[in-house]
Amino acid sequence: MQLFGKAQAAKDEAELKRVAKELRAAILEHVRLAKPSLAAEASMIAARDSAGDYKKTGRVGGDAI
């Protein structure tokens, strides 16, 4: 059962608090793992933009308007 389902199915406050602690840990782990990837992507975008490769599209990676 997924953590959100466990939270909804909790039978008492103690169980809900335990699941909330698991949810918090899972969210923090997700953020910790995502940060390096996002930082690398931001660096690549900044390098591309500074090289003049960015066309005014209103979005990243799109065709010119």
CA atoms within 13 A on the CB side of 24: 6
Q: What is the pLDDT of residue 51?
A: 80
- Please state the pTM of the whole predicted model: 0.57
Q: What is the dihedral of CA 43, 46, 51, 55, to 10 degrees?
A: 130
Domain boundaries, the chain: 3-50
Phi and psi at residue 36, in whole multiples of 5°?
-60, -40
pLDDT digits (tens, 9 = 90+) for 13-50: 999 999 999 999 999 999 999 999 999 999 999 988 88
Residues 6+ apart with CB under 8 A from 55: 63, 64
